[in-house]
RNA sequence: GGAGAUGUGGCUGAGUGGUUGAAGGCACCGGUUUCGAAAACCGGCAUCGGGGCAACUCGAUCGUGAGUUCAAAUCUCACCAUCUCCGCCA
């Protein structure tokens, strides 16, 4: 959510930003509606002021005849207030609905483009493996190594269901433990976050409105979150954080649930696109400064790249273009790992910053030296998501005999083995 | 799931219909005193929104939302949370 004052003072910038993001919204119309809201609010407040004033007179007045007269008068004013409040309430509801749809303004540096095909490759790292045999895809490899069971996964869960088993499960734990150590050294505090969250938090992060069809809901009208970003932003909601405590640096583990409702025909086999997975997420709350936001955004994105480098997985960095940038984001990088069987890079991580867009909805503030309150800035990035990263590992490190060479940093978490074999 | 109790500012705690945005205390900030500190004393100290260059002023907020009333922290209802007991349970 943007500040209505900011919108009013920068309507051209906000309108241009929305256009770049392909969000159909009329800022001029919103401002007209806001004028209406303020006008109606003033009318109601003026009448309330009158009632308050006269009520005090009534309390002090000894003359009972005058008292009765004043009470009678106030009764009619009250009716007037009620009618005006009714009108104001409708105006505010409409105002809020539109306010939730106003997208965050993309940063100047974000490349312009219509959709994901225009995302810009910034850099690539690592050497793509060259095989002197025909590389297998992760499904074949992992089935042969008895690391996964899709048939029974579908029997039990349904479409996109899977069991990780044996070294598939071991490798997952190895990655989690390694990631904990890797990111722990970067001064994040470690959390295990709830995945069941109240609706309001999804509005806070910007996952609602829009995107509702991709989110699981419980019969208690809670939601299953698709990322620990949601509970971790909720963690400090309605709080005032001491400035000396900033930045807050969190590494949060949680199960993640995504219905993938709009993607039925995509990645129908394997572990790339599943409805239930696990993720460690980096999340930072910092003071309200663009410079700080940019600094930490670069850092958390680099953290993930360094993580991949330590595993020796080839990747590329994409700068997300305006047309593909989510409503709440100011700027995003995706990190994509090389997937040999698909002969392309696939997304493993996304790092974004939001300025105070999320903090405003969550009401997370801090007090500066002058005693003034500000909304914090928020940022987040994947630290590592399983099982998707298993795809990159088994495919890039597969051997001619169908075994998989374990990345060196993971070996001590895998019983000091060098290979996953049958 | 059943029964009962509770929910006031950063904390503590008073307040059961009328200048109460809310006493007192703690914490915090400024000052006096002191070589300095402590203690003591004096003063200040909620947030959000509207108007105003400003002093200031108006509105809202006592878990959340609705209601009763000229007037609600105080009365009514619903919801949420916490605590205690019982039941169930990894």
pLDDT in tens, A304-322: 999 999 999 999 999 999 9
Out of A195-199, A249-253, A282-286, A370-374, pick the least confident: A370-374
Euclidean distance between the first and the last CA atom of chain A, given in angstroms as a whole number: 53
DSSP H or E segment with residue A8: helix A4-9
Per-chain mean pLDDT for chain A: 93
CA of A371 to C1' of B40 (A): 29
Q: Report if CB A39 to strand B is under 7 Å.
A: no
pLDDT on residue A239: 85
Find which nucleotide's C1' atom is closest to A58's CA: B70
Q: DSSP 3-state helix, strand, coil percentages of chain A (rounded to 5)?
A: 45, 20, 35
A350 - beta bridge partners?
A: A334
| pLDDT tens digits for range A140-193 | 999 999 999 999 999 999 999 999 999 999 999 999 999 999 999 999 999 999
Walk across the sheet containing A189-192 and list its strands. A120-125, A315-319, A331-339, A344-353, A377-386, A276-286, A248-257, A189-192
Q: How confident is the model at residue A2 (pLDDT cuts 50, 70, 90)?
A: very high
Number of Cβ within a 10 Å radius of residue A394: 29
pLDDT on residue A211: 79
Q: What percent of chain A has pLDDT over 90?
A: 78
Cα–Cα dist A58/A383, whole Å: 64
Q: How confident is the model at residue A218 (pLDDT cuts 50, 70, 90)?
A: confident
Q: Which two tokens stand for residue A410?
A: 């993971």
pLDDT on residue A8: 93
pLDDT for A63 beyond 80: no
Q: Convert A318-344 to b/e letters by CB count within 10 Å (16 or more is b).
A: bbbbbbbbbbbbbbbbbbbbbbbbeee
A397 in Cβ contact with A338 (< 8 Å): no
Q: Could you say which of A249, A317, A360, A388 is catalytic?
A: A388
pLDDT on residue A334: 97
- Which position has the higher pLDDT, A66 or A110? A110
Q: Report if CB A46 to strand B is under 7 Å.
A: yes
Per DSSP, A244 falls in state G
List the single protein residue with the shortest CA to C1' distance from B80.
A198
Q: How confident is the model at residue A389 (pLDDT cuts 50, 70, 90)?
A: very high
pLDDT for A126 beyond 90: yes
Q: Report if CB A59 to strand B is under 7 Å.
A: yes
pLDDT on residue A240: 84
The label of the residue with tokens 């003071």 reads A287
CA of A400 to C1' of B45 (A): 74
Task: Identify whether A273 is a catalytic site residue.
Answer: yes
Q: How confident is the model at residue A244 (pLDDT cuts 50, 70, 90)?
A: confident
Count the alpha carbons within 13 Å of A137 in the hemisphere toward its beta carbon.
10
Q: Tell me which range, A22-26, A63-67, A238-242, is most confidently predicted by mean pLDDT.
A: A22-26
CA A16-A21-A25 angle, 5° bins: 65
Cα–Cα dist A308/A396, whole Å: 12
Q: How confident is the model at residue A379 (pLDDT cuts 50, 70, 90)?
A: very high
Q: How confident is the model at residue A245 (pLDDT cuts 50, 70, 90)?
A: confident
Q: Report if CB A65 to strand B is under 7 Å.
A: no
Q: Convert A353-384 to b/e letters by CB count within 10 Å (16 or more is b).
A: bbbbbbbbbbebbbeeeeeeebbbbbbbbbbb
- 3-state DSSP assignment of residue A113: coil
Q: What percent of chain A has pLDDT over 70?
A: 100
**Average pLDDT in the A281-302 region?**
96
pLDDT on residue A241: 84
Q: Could you say which of A350, A352, A381, A403 is catalytic?
A: A350
pLDDT for A268 beyond 90: no
CA A179 vs CA A251, A378, A393, A411: distances in Å: 10, 22, 14, 13
Q: Which two tokens stand for residue A256?
A: 């993640």
pLDDT for A62 beyond 90: no
pLDDT on residue A56: 87
pLDDT on residue A57: 87
- Which position has the higher pLDDT, A124 or A237? A124
**Average pLDDT in the A1-18 region?**
94
pLDDT on residue A371: 75
């Amino acid at each position: 959510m943007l500040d209505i004052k900011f919108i009013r003072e920068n309507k051209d910038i906000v309108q241009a930003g929305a256009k770049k993001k392909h969000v159909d919204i009329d800022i001029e119309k919103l401002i007209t509606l806001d004028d209406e809201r303020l006008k109606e609010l003033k009318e109601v407040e003026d009448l309330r002021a009158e009632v308050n004033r006269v009520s005090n007179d009534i309390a002090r007045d000894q003359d009972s005849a005058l008292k009765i007269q004043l009470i009678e008068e106030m009764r009619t004013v009250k009716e007037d207030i009620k009618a005006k409040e009714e009108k104001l309430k409708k105006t505010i509801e409409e105002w809020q609905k539109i306010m939730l749809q106003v997208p965050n303004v993309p940063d100047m540096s974000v490349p312009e483009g219509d959709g994901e095909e225009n995302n810009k490759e910034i850099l690539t790292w690592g050497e793509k493996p060259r095989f002197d045999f025909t590389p297998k895809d992760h499904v074949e490899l992992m089935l042969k190594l008895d690391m996964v069971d899709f048939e029974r996964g579908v029997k039990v869960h349904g479409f996109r269901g899977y069991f990780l088993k044996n070294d598939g499960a071991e490798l997952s734990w190895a990655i989690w433990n390694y990631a904990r150590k890797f990111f722990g050294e970067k001064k994040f505090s470690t959390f295990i976050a709830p995945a069941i969250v109240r609706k309001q938090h999804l509005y806070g992060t910007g996952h609602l409105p829009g995107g509702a069809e991709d989110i699981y809901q419980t019969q208690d009208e809670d939601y299953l979150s698709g990322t620990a970003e949601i509970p971790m932003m909720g963690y400090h909601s309605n709080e005032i954080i001491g400035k000396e405590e900033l930045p807050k640096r969190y590494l949060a583990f949680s199960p993640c649930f995504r219905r993938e409702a709009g993607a039925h025909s995509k990645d129908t086999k394997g572990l790339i696109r599943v409805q239930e997975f696990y993720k460690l997420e980096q999340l930072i709350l910092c003071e309200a400064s663009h410079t700080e936001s940019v600094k930490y955004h670069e850092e958390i994105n680099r953290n993930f790249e360094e993580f991949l480098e330590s595993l020796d997985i080839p990747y590329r960095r994409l700068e997300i273009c305006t047309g593909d940038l989510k409503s709440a984001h100011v700027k995003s990088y995706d990190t994509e790992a090389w997937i040999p069987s698909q002969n392309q890079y696939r997304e493993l991580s996304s790092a974004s910053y939001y300025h105070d867009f999320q903090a405003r909805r969550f009401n997370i503030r801090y007090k500066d030296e002058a005693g003034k309150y500000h909304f914090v800035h928020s940022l987040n990035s994947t630290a590592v998501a399983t099982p998707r990263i298993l795809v990159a590992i088994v495919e890039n490190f597969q051997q001619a005999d169908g075994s998989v060479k374990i990345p060196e940093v993971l070996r001590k978490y895998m019983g000091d083995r060098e290979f996953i074999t049958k």
